Amino acid sequence: MKIYFAGSIRGEKPDKDWFKRLITHISKHGKVLTEQPFSYTYEEEIKFEDSQIYETDMGWLREADALIAEVSAPSLGVGYEIAKAEDMCKPILLLYKVREGRKPSAMLNGNNGLPMIKYKLGDEVLEAVDWFLERVQADMLSRQEA
């Protein structure tokens, strides 16, 4: 299985330690196509041409079997990736860390077709990630058998 992980890079400062932990956990289920960009520093990331980033990421998104997006930090790019994945009929899971005085995006939270897992501590969301990816894998197998 190929999984596209999305999270803020240029938007609000990313929680790189949490992203690395999530990516490591997700990779138990398959190949995380977007693992590399989350290891770059901001200075390294901005050296790439924007068109190169767009083409690479859209290629990965088309190739992916599912998208998991960490949407706690606002990011126009992540919102765009979610919308494109939705247009491509990809299975999508949104993860949102609950913080005092903050609310998730109304466009994401209000879309009943996009499951959003709200969590306070990281460990509690990992089971939901496992359940989601196991369901995606089962759906892939049943389509192959048909």
- pTM of full prediction above 0.75: yes
Which tokens go with 128? 């939901």
- Per the structure, the complete domain to which residue 56 belongs is given by 2-145
| Residue 86: CA count within 13 A, CB half-sphere | 16
Domains held by the chain: number: 1
With 80 as the cut, is the pLDDT of residue 57 above it? yes
Rounded distance, CA 27 to CA 48, Å?
A: 25
Tell me the per-residue pLDDT of 98-117, one tens digit each, with 9 for 90 and over.
989 889 999 999 999 999 99
Report which DSSP code applies to 119: E
Rounded distance, CA 115 to CA 101, Å?
A: 22
Residue 73's domain is classified under what CATH number?
3.40.50.450
The dihedrals phi and psi of 118, each to the nearest 5 degrees, come to -100, 130
